[in-house]
Amino acid sequence: MTVTLEPSAETSVPQYDTGTQPFPDMKRNFSQNKIGLLALYNLCFRSSSTMLYLSLLTLLLKNIGPQSLPWFYTLTNIILLAVNYSIPLSWRSMLSVPFLRIGPIPIISVTILAGTLALTAPSQQLIGISAFIFLVIISNVDELWCLSFANSLGRILTLGESKKWQASIYGAGSLGQFLSGIALKLLLDFMNLGHLLLFNSVLAIASVFIGHKILSLVKASVDGTANDVKTVTEASSEKEPSSESEPVRASSMTDSLSQPLVKLLMIAAMMRIFTKYPVDFIFSGEVNNRFSSPETMASFLGIFSAVSDLGAIILQSCASGWLMQRFPLGKLLAFMPVTMLILSLWSALGGGFMPAVAMQLAMALMARSLFIPGRNILMGSLPADDREHHNRSLFISRTIGTLLSGTMLIFIGSNAPTWTILCFMGFLYGIMCFICLAIDKAYLDTLRNTLGSNTARNSMLSAQFITTDSVEAENSAVLEAITRALSEDREFLMDNRDPLARLGIIDTLRFSDPHEALDFFGKALPREDNPRCARAMAARMSLAALACGADCRRREAQYLNDFIEMMNSSDNPEKNRIIADLLEGSSAAACGSEREAIYISHLNHQNHRVRAAAIGSILKSSLNNHSLENALMNMAEMVHSRNTMDNAAAAAIMGELGIPAFAPSLARLAVVDDEMTANAALRALARTRTPWALSALRNAAFRTPGQRGAWARELFMEASRESASRIGSLLMSMTSSERESLGKILRSIQGESSMELMTKVLGLEDVSLRKILANRLMASNKSEMVILDNILSLDISGKTRIDPKALCEILKSDSDLSQYQWMAMIGSSASLNKSDFITEICLTSQSKKLTPSQTEMALLLISGLAVDPNSILEAITRVQSGDPFEMAIAMEYIEGDLGREIASAVSSLTRTG
């Protein structure tokens, strides 16, 4: 594995902080006041809506009774589903920041009407029915407001700000609910419910004005941010062409279910709400049985609400934000179903008032302090437009859960024993726990996909890890573009008389659909008269047929047969060479019985080249024992033939295969009188490079006089590599026991620093890194050998370890690290102690004297710690993109993949770089 670095032009990197906006020229009033305004708004709205809900619930329970609750749940959610599916797409943007201003208006209206009715209604039945209708109305408004508030937080806060402040904002809402519960208890001593409801409308009116203020500040902030982003990205937008169309945004429930994270959250939310209402039902029944007076019940509900709200406030303000910044969100969400599982089993076994109260309290605390803020933070990993749609899908899934729960309680709530309902809920909580544990992986995948769907701008670092065996990967994007651009004209271009042009078109078609490529080459092959092009086409056809299946393999064989028959009947003087190259090229992939039959039919061909090609193709691609035996017998006949052309062709094909068993035959052919045969055999021995082959080549080199002896000596020197290069190449393929044995020998050699360094390289367990460093030893660069000697050390067991402290000292040195690209692989090496390296790299990241090349190398080392280095490199580029959403997503992905310490180091390095 090597590293290709492409530093972009130096740009100023905005300072990143998870709790602040990255643009210093934004409206400062908004950046300073938005958290406070959102918290104050949530406090006022939640306090007014909670006081209204508790008052109406008290009127409903005492005038109709708890048996009305299942009908209330069912009717509420039927209306919610109807409203959601009837909202036009063009209106859904209203369920965001604009709804903050208009959401409290229905609360004000219902509060005044309910208060007036409670004071003037002539009968209890009318009060109960009115309370039922008002509860349905405010429940629908409250659900729509919750959806809008979640969308608003996603629009106003970055992902980092959400993890830091969202729990506190929801804590302000809990404080409002706490105050409303206290007020309900205290004010009822001085006024009845009717007067209390009229007093409550004042808080709802205050929330209208605060929502209007937030809306105006958000508009000003967005305008300022847009101007800053336009300034930051103006130069890059001139260079990069815009995409042909906007990305397809999610627009249906199917789209939400196809997104793994959203699907898990939808299932978890539906299960949570499905189990919430049986808890409410059991709790309401126990409370109704416990208290006979409406005032006593209202007082208890007020105290209970105050206690649950106070607990939620403490958790949201003191614990939730801290926990969410330090622990995986999925595991935190799983704490809720585990706790509820334990409480539901306790309630099923014991029953009574206290278990019901404990379940209701635990549900309220964990839903408000963990589940709802955590869910909103997880949804922040999605683009804003998609997020608002997926929030709506989450809302619908919760509504479906409520509808199912209400339907279940209507039909079996009064008939089934309570313990059976609780046991069923415990089973659902167990399933919900496993779903929550799967969320973390889906969250990281979503962050990675979100990063991949946006284009980074003003990147300080642009790097890619590539394998040494795929150098062509650097140009893959260009070749793909060529393929698309030439897709309509390639048939015309294949008629170009320049073979190199045709080879270029054949090469680009490796990105095409295998079926399409096979048919295209099958039709173009009859027009081909160049051996190289025919060979390249046959190779592409064999690979395409291998990818497509049996039917394609039969079509491939038919194309080859037709072409060979056409060639045999033609008068082309190079037809045998073309057929031979065609057979060799088609052996690029394993053959089926159809293509194998073509090879067998040419084993006795009169032309030596075609015959050798058929033998080599069978030995390379066939798995049939009889065919392999037949090919080897024909190979032996060609070796012992009196026809020198057969001998030369056999030597060439044995050299191409490089099978050690052929070395004795090649040694015999290397000393024959025919110069062409002998030269072919000498080249084959040099390519085989086994000890037997090198010994035969050495004998020919020093015992054969004249030009052939000189040629053999040149091949021997090139093949044997009796130098550091040869030693380095041998290290790459040695087994662990061989390396240990050679290491003992090398350690016995004293006074040779290069031998000591080679001993360290031999002790590396990482094969890829060992190969790279073995290659670097061949170059014998003194400064590079000094660096290697400093960072590598042998432990008492003979294994090599990489010294993290020495590595970071080199990062801070004056060395030009751009020439030591192999250092980027060290981060992924098993010989590096990851925890010590993290400590050292975090200390190094605090240095203010790092050059751009040193910073770049440090970031590459960090990326090597990840399972997927390219994703981390992509995330690092987004940290400097200038877009707050991209920056927050990138930092969240780095923290989720590599940990909080590394994320902090990346933040420091991108600022110093």
Give the pLDDT score at 847: 63
Residue 611 token pair = 């015959």
Cβ within 8 Å of residue 596, ≥6 positions away:
618, 621, 622, 624, 627
Dihedral over alpha carbons 119, 120, 124, 128 (to 10 degrees): -70
897 vs 195, more confident: 897
Mean pLDDT, range 524-549, rounded to an integer: 75
Distance in angstroms (rounded) separating the CA atoms of residues 732 and 817: 24
Under 8 Å between Cβ of 68 and 132:
yes
Question: Which residue, among 291, 112, 75, 77, has the nearest Cα to 202 in the 3D structure?
Answer: 112
In the 8-state DSSP scheme, what is residue 465?
E
Average pLDDT over residues 581-598: 73
334: which DSSP letter? Answer: H
Which of 120-124, 485-489, 907-911 bottoms out in mean pLDDT, i.e. has the lowest? 485-489
Confidence bin at 3 (pLDDT 50/70/90):
very low
73, pLDDT greater than 60: yes
Task: Name beta bridge partners: 792.
Answer: 802
Q: What is the pLDDT of residue 121?
A: 62
Task: Specify the amino acid at residue 635.
Answer: M
The set of residues, in sequence order, having a beta carbon less than 8 Å from that of 691 and lying 6+ positions away, is: none
Statement: the pTM of the whole predicted model exceeds 0.75: no
Beta partners for residue 465, in sequence order: 3
User: How many CB atoms within 10 Å of residue 573?
Assistant: 7
Fold annotation for 28-232+253-452: Growth Hormone; Chain: A; (1.20.1250)
CA–CA gap between residue 253 and residue 260 (Å, rounded):
13
CB 450 within 8 A of CB 250: no
Tallying the residues shown for the chain, one arrives at: 913
Query: Between 491 and 245, whose confidence is greater?
Result: 491
CA distance linking residue 653 with residue 670, whole number of Å: 14
For residue 431, give the amino acid letter: I
pLDDT band at 2 (very low <50, low <70, confident <90, very high): very low
Decide which of 1 and 711 is more confident. 711
Q: What is the pLDDT of residue 468?
A: 33
Please write the tens of the pLDDT for every residue from 484-523.
Answer: 444 545 555 566 667 776 776 676 665 566 777 777 777 7
Give the model confidence (pLDDT) of 797-845 as tens digits: 667 777 777 777 777 666 666 556 666 667 667 677 767 777 777 777 6
Burial 716-749 (b: 16+ CB within 10 A, else e): beebeeeeeeebbeebeebeeeebeebbeebeee
Question: Per-residue confidence at 891, pLDDT binned at 50, 70, 90?
Answer: confident
Residue among 131, 145, 127 nearest 48 (CA): 145
Question: What's residue 385's pLDDT?
Answer: 65
Q: Which residue has the tokens 């302000």?
A: 172
Instruction: Give 800's strand partners.
Output: 794
Q: Which pLDDT score is estimated for 20?
A: 36
**Residue 233's pLDDT band (cuts 50, 70, 90):** very low
Does the pLDDT at position 9 exceed 50? no
Q: How confident is the model at residue 724 (pLDDT cuts 50, 70, 90)?
A: very low
What is the tens place of the pLDDT at every residue in 419-431?
888 888 888 888 8
Q: 3-class DSSP state for residue 103?
A: coil
| DSSP-assigned beta bridge partners for residue 801 | 793
Q: What percent of the chain has pLDDT over 90?
A: 0
Closest CA to 463 of 849, 904, 823, 831: 823
54-58, 135-139, 354-358, 729-733: least confident range:
729-733
For residue 240, pLDDT beyond 60:
no
**Residue-level pLDDT at 557:** 77
Region of poorest pLDDT, from 32-41, 56-65, 81-90, 877-886? 81-90
Least confident among 353-362, 444-453, 488-497, 710-719: 488-497
**Residues 6 or more apart in contact with residue 635 via CB below 8 angstroms:** 615, 619, 650, 653, 654
| Cα–Cα distance for residue pair 372/398, rounded to 1 Å | 12
**Residue 789 near residue 759, CB atoms below 8 Å:** no
CA-based R_g, the chain, Å: 38
Q: What average pLDDT is seen over the chain?
A: 70
Provide the token pair at 811: 């990062």
- How large is the average pLDDT for residues 732-745? 60
In angstroms, the CA 885 to CA 386 distance is 13
